[in-house]
A = this chain, B = another copy of it.
Amino acid sequence: MARETVPSAGAVRPELVAFDAALEADNIIAHWRREFGPPGPTSQGEPCLWKWERIHQHLLTAADLIGVQEAGRRTLHLCPPGMHATTHTLSMCVQLNKPGEIATAHRHTMTALRFIIQGTGAYTTVEGEAVALYPGDLVTTPSWGYHDHWVEPNGSEPVIWVDGLDSPFVYLLDAKFSNQFPQPQQPRTVRADFTRDLQGVVRPVGHEGDPVHQPAVYRWTEVRPALERFAQDDGDPCDGVVLDYVNPVTGGHMGPTIGCRIQMLRVGERTMGHRHTASAAYHVVEGEGVTLVGDRQLEWSKGDCFNIPNWQWHRHEQRGGSPAVLWSMHDQPVYEAVGLYREERR
């Protein structure tokens, strides 16, 4: 980011060196001691691929080694070399909970979401509503909503999902607030499916929607067929068949800091390159292919995760005999909100 102070050309003059020191003693840094840096973004972090075999193995090891109470959340955070998160604003994690386990109730200003990879019998309770989770479902935990997770005790298998958060961005703004719920689990106060029903074509008269704090549930049984139907249309030159998860209150991005997408690369589809100020993290739901990011070639198949840092050229190619389906999260809403979103296409 080139924000460090450096000796400028002028600074070789001894009188300037002395002056700079005098300024520094008064908590002042002269403009001419800064490198202004390159004329565009430098891109934060590098593209990275996490193979499902490794992720899965690590999760099983973690399930053996550490209890959910001890761990807080049994979560593995995908962080490229030198990075503290998946991108400069987003965290992509994978979480495993075994039958009978409870990830206790808390809340925080970070916006979170879960995209279910495998297993059944898990529930997330958000603000008093228990939501059953099935593979492919996307469930959001808006900023400052209490949430806890649990798996039915009589299940036969652990449940694994992707956790997405805007933690790095909230830390950049130093705006993290958090607290524990007084009990391990919050009581159910809202009937089943209430949140999901609020996203339908009809909605209670006078319901006060809140674009930041209203949770949302996107069922795979709805999303997957929609993807199939839109696959009949042209699609986008850079992303194939690509759909936004829609915020039920605003009609825009899923949340104020994170947007989500589901996309299909049809058999033989190779997209055009582009880059944008937003960054993204991906999880492969079906099929296989390759994504070229900068000078990297990420060869992915079902279950893998990868990231695309901000402002890096990238394009996708489907491989194999069936379409590939990618789920992703991105920080475009932040860039749009402050007028800093840009995209370039080749």
**A residues neighboring B (CB under 8 Å):** 1, 3-5, 9-10, 13, 15-16, 19, 22-23, 26-32, 34, 36-37, 39-44, 48, 50, 54-55, 58, 61-62, 65-66, 70-81, 84, 88-89, 93, 109, 143, 168-179, 191, 193-194, 197, 199-206, 209, 211-213, 216, 218-219, 222-223, 226-227, 229-230, 232-233, 236, 239, 242-246, 248-251, 256-257, 261-262, 277, 310-311, 333-335, 337-340, 342
Q: Which residues of B contact A89 (CB under 8 A)?
A: 173
Looking at the complex, which one of B48, B80, B243 makes contact with A203 (CB distance below 8 Å)? Answer: B243
Q: How far is the CB of A152 from chain B (nearest CB, A)?
A: 23
Q: Which residues of B contact A26 (CB under 8 A)?
A: 50, 54, 58
Is B3 in contact with A171, judged by CB distance below 8 angstroms?
A: yes
Looking at the complex, which one of B50, B206, B213 makes contact with A28 (CB distance below 8 Å)? Answer: B50
Is A71 in contact with B201, judged by CB distance below 8 angstroms?
A: no
The CA of A222 and the CA of B199, in the complex, are separated in Å by 12
The CA of A132 and the CA of B178, in the complex, are separated in Å by 49
Name which residue of chain B comes closest to A190, CB basis. B233
Q: Which residues of B contact A79 (CB under 8 A)?
A: 27-29
Name which residue of chain B comes closest to A333, CB basis. B338
Known contacts A27-B81, A36-B72, A243-B204, A233 near B88 by CB under 8 Å: no
Given contact pairs A39-B177, A200-B246, A205-B243, enumerate 5 new A-B contacts (beta carbons under 8 Å): A27-B50, A31-B74, A193-B229, A200-B222, A248-B251
Is A177 in contact with B41, judged by CB distance below 8 angstroms?
A: yes
Looking at the complex, which one of B30, B65, B174 makes contact with A310 (CB distance below 8 Å)? Answer: B174
Is B16 in contact with A177, judged by CB distance below 8 angstroms?
A: no
Is A175 in contact with B340, judged by CB distance below 8 angstroms?
A: yes
Is B77 in contact with A191, judged by CB distance below 8 angstroms?
A: no
The CA of A203 and the CA of B200, in the complex, are separated in Å by 14
Name which residue of chain B comes closest to A15, CB basis. B65
Is A19 in contact with B62, judged by CB distance below 8 angstroms?
A: yes
